[in-house]
Structure 1
Amino acid sequence: MKRRTVLKVFGWGAGGAVALGGGGFGAYYLSAKQDTVGKLAFDTALSVPPLAPSQRGASGAQVFTLGIQPGETRFKDGKATRTWGVNGTYLGPTIRARRGERVEFAVRNGLDEATSLHWHGMHLPAMMDGGPHQTISAGGTWEPWWTIDQPAATLWYHPHLHGSTADHTYRGLAGLFILDDEQTEALNLPSEYGVDDIPMIVQDRAFDGDQQFVQREPLAGSLGVIGDEILVNGTIGPYVDVTTRLVRLRLLNGSNARLYHFGFSDDRRFSLIATDGGLLAAPWETDRLYLSPGERAEIVVAFEPGERVEMRAYPAEHGGVLGRLDGFHDRFDICQFRSAASLSNDTTVPAVLGVAPDLVDEVVAQERSFVLASNQINGRPMAMDRIDFGVREGTVEVWEVTNDNGYLHNFHVHDVQFQVLTVDGGEPDPSLRGWKDTVLLVQGRRYRLALRFRDHTDPNRPYMYHCHLLAHEDDGMMGQFVVLGEGEQVGNPPSRHQHQ
């Protein structure tokens, strides 16, 4: 049943009112809010994804072998849950590489259907991107390679099979991809993986009575699947034993649709040090942080000896009149941090971290406008055989992006990190002043993004731009562009190629 039809059936009028009577939609609406604050036992240590092993190839490359596979994972007492994972039964290992290093992969698909792995946030050739044109057939192996050429950052990988991205990601195919460089290593930030530098893949999931994942969409909801339990690295109700005064958290919103408004139970302030594309120029002190699906952030939190504090997801303000149904009113305990009686104090948060994005004064070769509405961009749904436009290598463009239909959307661009120039003509919030590849689009606001396109030209193999709410992406809120070398013109995308 279409969303508008649902609203008519339950009497939701154009003015935004609904009869909250004793039954029907009114009762459903009132019961939609979730609140787990104070209800979790925090009796399981946070699982930390292992670092992916690698070998040094003949070319000097770091070579990783990844196996996509089905399995079973025990999240709770009782039956195990049927899941998918990479080199395991749920999620995947953390891949780690350095700037300037060549990486090579052998990605084997052990499922009984095609899938893919997209390297979200990575600057790389389009044919290595892992998007919908680089699918891996059941039993097939894909062998991409490229040289890391971007600053240290927290990236991630996940499927990008057109029409099935939401399903494959929900089943468990995702992992972090951490990039290092000399500049970041020279800073005295917390950096011991799993000790004071902790990955946190935050996802919502729903379970049925048989402990199996259920992909439940709220009645009259607008975002897709919304779960009622929160997993961090696949752990429900986790705790972390804190042994250092400063702890760096690498946060990923790995959910299909849920918007998180992160904070702590005592409203303590923390330092945002990095966004999607790497370090900010300077830390930003705050007590709340929004992350929409696909976005990452690195924060540093200070702890005192002997204390306990919870990270929480607080209600969000961007949900619109029916936001309660899509989780915007929800409140979740995410993870408990337990400080030791004494804490080491060997790291700092420097006042200067990195270099601010620098595209504001660049010559703009082209301006483009994108309107997201009705599972389309600029009035057109995604078509695998249509390249929407080409950009010229070595140039800077400005894209103005607007969410124009009242529901939550965000905007992700493959291959590049962009600078948010303005929001509705004004300076962007501090959380948007670093390099980004995914940005939350608040209804009606105009986001002007500056993007520099460099290297990796190919007139026929496209990159994607799309909403990263995965149901919206699957339903067609996506387009394709190519990067053109001198004299090249937009070509024709290949038919969907499956690696055997």
Structure 2
Amino acid sequence: MRRRAFLLLAAAAGTQGCGSPSRPAAGRATGRPSDGGASGFANPVRIPPLLEPVVDSAGVKTFTLTAQRGRTEFLPGKPAPTWGFNGPYLGPTLRASRGDRVRVNVVNRIGEDTTVHWHGMRVPALMDGGPQRIIAPDATWSPHWTVEQPAATTWYHPHPHGYTVQHVYRGLAGMFLLDDPRSQALDLPRTYGVDDFPLIVQDKVLNDDGTLSEKRLDDSVFFLGDRILVNGTLDPHLKVGSQRVRLRILNASNSRLFHIGFADGRAFQVVGADAGLLPAPAQVDRISLSPAERAEIVVAFSPGESVILRSSGGRDPIDKGDFDLLKIIAADRLRPSSEVPDHLGTTPPIEVPADARVRGFRLDGDDEINGRDYAMDRIDEVVPAGAREIWEVEARDHAHNFHIHEVALRVLDIDGSPPPQWYRSQKDTVFLPAKSKVRLAVEFGHFTDPRTPYMFHCHILRHEDRGMMGQFVIVEPGTEAEVPRTLPTGHAGPHG
């Protein structure tokens, strides 16, 4: 039966302003039956360190990320092989401000080819880190750009075609936070690791010896784990000392859809989505995040209380099961916090002209867009710089989500229904249940390069690796017809 995608989102949203929040269903504590938090949550959640850049005489901020192998104890006393950046699992948090010139030296020490993509970052195609930008073992790639976008919670992860699912699953991912003068002036929680916390949520399958199981990782339509890690921590808790706390939640799972709220049904305020701050806070009691989506929320606590952050399962194949994600414990005395401001981001909504170009994309099975597998030497779409278009994306057989590199987008509707308020800000990734259709207003940037493509793809990583991906280039307006649709031999790199 054809379902409206945002019935799920709207139901998950709960309260939109006033009203009594609904109580999420009982859950599972990171893969075990939930006992309401009476036991478990034994481990302090790890907070990824902020990586300090080296600033040269020209003011360029240089970060160094080393992809490396290590060992991590997900289960006590059972170290397991993992991958990470600058450590054994996950990576540090990078931070920059609008107008900063940044460079990242990415060093590959994992012993095989990889890439690093700046998910949500608006950068020139040569710096984007798609599957064409292979970093060979022991090599260093040094992309550089100027931050030219509003404050947002972005992230970084590998993007080697055919291997993304393994590289992310083994631990290669981290957050990249962007600030701007507007966000810095707002009275929001913003002290990293004190009242502003990153939460990288992932589902895994753990073997009895503590190792990450990769069985069925690349041969099932949807890989779903039965254990939840938050910042790489199993069975985690977070102690907070402020009345209000900002949580930057990233779904970095391979396939799983999370419906996230609190076990006591309390309302909270969504202040940001993928690509930046909402115009105004949206009060809800649940949000839904598919792989790669982010949300910034602000939640209030009372002294001495504890509450469980929970994901409630649904009927879609990728959201089966209820999980307790994190126990939050408030100190007996809390620092006072201001109310969330009524007005947040000032970026105007993306509007398209009446004669806007409309492009259609059909996601078939788990490996095709518009009836074709991905080809690294093929340009699928050519877009003039600065264009604002409507992209219509249809999920045929399975649930999918859709990510476009470089752009900002606004969800106009899914199956004709408008999205809830918290889903209306600028985004870069959108969820589509099976047999649904989404219309997106898409804003393209001004970095032109007719020979170097950006990507669009399903961000369910197995689908991406199997070929549910395409390429587009941004060119000077009026030159679209002159652009070759085939890239030269050798452009694709080792995996082409």
Matched residue, 2:34? 37
TM-superposed deviation, 1:493:
3.1
Matched residue, 2:269? 271
- SS of 2:126 mapped into structure 1: helix
- SS of 2:165 mapped into structure 1: helix
* Residue 441 of structure 1, aligned match among 414, 432, 446: 432
TM-superposed deviation, 1:58:
3.5
TM-superposed deviation, 1:210:
2.3
Q: 8 Å contact 1:84–1:90 — kept in the other structure?
A: yes
Q: 8 Å contact 1:216–1:226 — kept in the other structure?
A: no
Alignment of 1:64-463 (within 5 A): 64-217=63-216, 222-223=221-222, 225-317=223-315, 319=316, 323=317, 326=318, 328-355=319-346, 357-374=348-365, 375-405=367-397, 407-463=398-454
- SS of 2:78 mapped into structure 1: coil
* Residue 490 of structure 1, aligned match among 474, 483, 489: 483
Name structure 2 gaps, 5 residues minimum.
1-29
Q: 8 Å contact 1:364–1:397 — kept in the other structure?
A: no
Q: Deviations for 1:149-205, whole angstroms, at most 9, x for unmatched residues?
A: 000000000000000000000010000000000001111000110111000000111
Seen in structure 2, the aligned counterparts of structure 1 residues 218 and 60 have a Cα distance that, compared at 3 Å, is closer
TM-superposed deviation, 1:496:
2.6
Q: 8 Å contact 1:62–1:101 — kept in the other structure?
A: yes
AA partner of residue 368 (structure 2)? Q
Q: Deviations for 1:225-284, whole angstroms, at most 9, x for unmatched residues?
A: 221111000111111111111000000001011111101110111101100001011111
CA distance in 2 between counterparts of 1:169 and 1:398 reads 31
AA partner of residue 280 (structure 2)? A
Matched residue, 1:477? 468
CA distance in 1 between counterparts of 2:211 and 2:421 reads 40
- SS of 2:351 mapped into structure 1: coil
- SS of 2:134 mapped into structure 1: strand
CA distance in 2 between counterparts of 1:237 and 1:364 reads 52
CA distance in 2 between counterparts of 1:188 and 1:364 reads 40
TM-superposed deviation, 1:356:
5.8
TM-superposed deviation, 1:445:
2.4
TM-superposed deviation, 1:303:
0.5
Further displaced range: 100-109 or 214-223:
214-223
Q: 8 Å contact 1:35–1:330 — kept in the other structure?
A: no
The two structures have a TM-score, normalised by structure 1, of: 0.88
Q: 8 Å contact 2:408–2:444 — kept in the other structure?
A: no
TM-superposed deviation, 1:219:
12
CA distance in 2 between counterparts of 1:227 and 1:357 reads 39
CA distance in 2 between counterparts of 1:357 and 1:135 reads 36
AA partner of residue 304 (structure 1)? S
- SS of 2:418 mapped into structure 1: coil
TM-superposed deviation, 1:433:
0.4
Alignment of 1:10-21 (within 5 A): none
AA partner of residue 492 (structure 2)? R
- SS of 2:198 mapped into structure 1: strand
Seen in structure 2, the aligned counterparts of structure 1 residues 437 and 238 have a Cα distance that, compared at 3 Å, is same
CA distance in 1 between counterparts of 2:464 and 2:451 reads 21
Q: Deviations for 1:385-426, whole angstroms, at most 9, x for unmatched residues?
A: 111010011221110111111x22000000011011122223
Q: 8 Å contact 1:64–1:105 — kept in the other structure?
A: yes
CA distance in 2 between counterparts of 1:372 and 1:157 reads 25
TM-superposed deviation, 1:59:
2.7
AA partner of residue 297 (structure 2)? I
Alpha-carbon RMSD:
1.9
Seen in structure 2, the aligned counterparts of structure 1 residues 457 and 251 have a Cα distance that, compared at 3 Å, is same
Q: 8 Å contact 2:352–2:441 — kept in the other structure?
A: no
- SS of 2:462 mapped into structure 1: helix
Q: 8 Å contact 1:417–1:435 — kept in the other structure?
A: yes
Aligned residue-pair number: 458
TM-superposed deviation, 1:79:
2.2
Q: 8 Å contact 2:273–2:294 — kept in the other structure?
A: yes
- SS of 2:210 mapped into structure 1: coil
Q: 8 Å contact 1:364–1:396 — kept in the other structure?
A: no
AA partner of residue 105 (structure 2)? A
CA distance in 2 between counterparts of 1:200 and 1:91 reads 12
Q: Deviations for 1:206-228, whole angstroms, at most 9, x for unmatched residues?
A: 111222111233999531x2211
- SS of 1:167 mapped into structure 2: helix
TM-superposed deviation, 1:310:
0.4
TM-superposed deviation, 1:471:
0.2
CA distance in 2 between counterparts of 1:445 and 1:429 reads 16
Q: 8 Å contact 2:154–2:175 — kept in the other structure?
A: yes
% identical equivalent positions: 47
The two structures have a TM-score, normalised by structure 2, of: 0.89
Matched residue, 1:11? none
TM-superposed deviation, 1:444:
2.4
TM-superposed deviation, 1:448:
0.9
AA partner of residue 399 (structure 1)? W
CA distance in 2 between counterparts of 1:356 and 1:180 reads 14
CA distance in 1 between counterparts of 2:475 and 2:161 reads 24
Name structure 1 gaps, 5 residues minimum.
1-32
Matched residue, 1:23? none
CA distance in 2 between counterparts of 1:287 and 1:35 reads 24
Seen in structure 2, the aligned counterparts of structure 1 residues 103 and 364 have a Cα distance that, compared at 3 Å, is farther
CA distance in 2 between counterparts of 1:71 and 1:161 reads 20
CA distance in 2 between counterparts of 1:101 and 1:354 reads 20
AA partner of residue 73 (structure 2)? R
Matched residue, 2:17? none
Further displaced range: 159-168 or 341-350:
341-350
